[in-house]
Amino acid sequence: MIIGVLAVVAALVGVHWYVWRRMVRDTTRPGGLPRRIGTGLVVLLPVLTVTALVSTNAGVPFTLQRIVAWPGYLWLAVLLYLVLALVVGEAVRPLLTRFLARRAAGPPPEEIPEPVAAVPGAAARTTPDDGPATPSHSAPDSRTPDTPAPDGPASRADDPRPPDEPALSRRLFVSRVVAVGAATAAAGTVGYGTYSVLRGPSTRHVTVPLAKLPRAAHGFRIAVVSDIHLGPILGRGHAQRVVDAVNRTGADLITVVGDLVDGTVANLGSAAAPLRELRARHGAFFVTGNHEYFSGAEEWVDYVRELGIHPLENARVELPAFDLAGVNDFAGESDNQGPDFARALGDRDTSRASVLLAHQPVAVHDAVDYGVDLQLSGHTHGGQLWPGPLLAELANPTVAGLERYGDTQLYVTRGAGAWGPPVRVGAPSDITVVELASKQA
């Protein structure tokens, strides 16, 4: 554990040193105000980030959590894309330097024809038409010995600039161009990614055929929402946007598949209150995610029940057309509250279609063993920040979308919110309407 923490700290220090070097040291004059300001920001911003990360579970007053959350978490996203842009800039830097050097040198001089060598004894010539030849001389040079040639180079002794100043100026210019380009790319990417979160999730529609689904249930629609992540940044307004989007679908059933909150009921109960307005013919159901166990899972399960949402804690309900089961998240195992697939699925009628709610996609391996027809999950955020999807693939069987594992189908939503930075790049937030199709229809 200690080695892991030290490795993370060393990585953060190294990354920030690289950013300081390229964005501050290489672009400013020593001792100047811009350098002092830049250095101060490179020290302050990671401190805010660490404070934001630990404040939720450290009992820090919620007001202070909200103050440090925006700059602290946004810096994480900016840092990611700033470093990526600066790495690309390393390839651009020598090309731009070479271009400027060639431009400063000017066009190549034109070739001057070599003079024709004089023939000995031919200093004077005669021609029959012009009479006696006159000696050939060149015009006297009117310049004084102390006057330099008009086109000759100026003396270095008369040039007040240091000998290496042109190279330094060129390097400074290139460094500033690369830094401005990297900062613009990072700010633009993070700005758009933040807007995509704050405007609320889009709605996706997926059709899933189930062999055991009766014909009467053909077209049954389940609204799947996960990873809302109410917290210091995403609050009541975000919850209301999600509720409105879900209710607009007119789904027959609503499922909230974990990671509803990042904080306690005392701090976020009012933010989650709009979930009371969720409406569906067969009601709304909830299972815990890993973040509930960081935030007081038992209190949240009780509060969700007060909001009119039915928690499924390793439990199952029999709906008219299929069995709906739910299991606790794996993070509850440390408190003896982990998933219990046998309790949720073990004694059911296997001739009926079954749908399982499990926050993490990795539960699909157990779902296959218990003959589940469809598992609905979240957890991955679709990677949230590119290149996050590439990393998410290493830990999850499916990052987003619908895939089949044996006779079990797994659908993973990208989630309706964001953890940490309220930013999504390459993985837009969504809620999904899963429409069940009967093969008998």
Q: What is the pLDDT of residues 175-224, one digit of tens each?
A: 999 999 999 999 999 999 999 999 999 999 999 999 999 999 999 999 99
User: What is the band of 122 on the pLDDT scale with cuts at 50, 70, 90?
Assistant: very low
Amino acid at 228: I
Q: Which strands sit side by side in the sheet containing 430-438, from one edge to the other?
A: 202-210, 430-438, 221-225, 253-257, 284-287, 310-311
pTM (2 d.p.): 0.84
Greatest mean pLDDT among 25-34, 102-111, 146-155 lies in 25-34
Predicted confidence at residue 108, as pLDDT, reads: 67
Predicted confidence at residue 100, as pLDDT, reads: 86
- Higher per-residue pLDDT: 227 or 146: 227
Express each pLDDT in 399-424 by its tens digit. Answer: 999 999 999 999 999 999 999 999 99
Predicted confidence at residue 115, as pLDDT, reads: 60
> CA of 263: how far to CAs of 56, 242, 295, 299, 327, in Å?
6, 18, 5, 11, 21
Burial 330-353 (b: 16+ CB within 10 A, else e): bbbeeeebbbebeebbeebeeeeb
Predicted confidence at residue 136, as pLDDT, reads: 45
Beta strands in 211-360 (DSSP E): 221-225, 253-257, 284-287, 310-311, 315-318, 322-326, 353-357
146 pLDDT exceeds 70?
A: no
The mean pLDDT value for 384-401 works out to 95
Q: Which strands sit side by side in the sheet containing 322-326, from one edge to the other?
A: 315-318, 322-326, 353-357, 374-377, 408-412, 401-405
User: What is the band of 117 on the pLDDT scale with cuts at 50, 70, 90?
Assistant: low
The mean pLDDT value for 128-150 works out to 45
Predicted confidence at residue 134, as pLDDT, reads: 47
Predicted confidence at residue 315, as pLDDT, reads: 97
- Higher per-residue pLDDT: 411 or 100: 411
- Higher per-residue pLDDT: 139 or 377: 377
Other beta carbons within 10 Å of 325: 27
Give the percent of the chain with pLDDT over 90.
77
149 pLDDT exceeds 90?
A: no
Q: Which stretch of DSSP H or E encloses residue 209?
A: strand 202-210
What does the mean pLDDT of the chain come to?
Answer: 89
116 pLDDT exceeds 70?
A: no
User: What is the band of 155 on the pLDDT scale with cuts at 50, 70, 90?
Assistant: very low
The mean pLDDT value for 143-151 works out to 44
Beta bridge partners of 207: 435
Task: Determine which of 164-173, 228-237, 349-358, 421-430 has the lowest per-residue pLDDT on average.
Answer: 164-173
Predicted confidence at residue 167, as pLDDT, reads: 47
User: What is the band of 4 on the pLDDT scale with cuts at 50, 70, 90?
Assistant: confident
28 pLDDT exceeds 90?
A: yes
* Cα-Cα end-to-end distance for the chain: 56
Cβ partners under 8 Å of residue 408, min gap 6: 364, 367, 368, 371, 372, 373, 374, 375
Predicted confidence at residue 105, as pLDDT, reads: 82
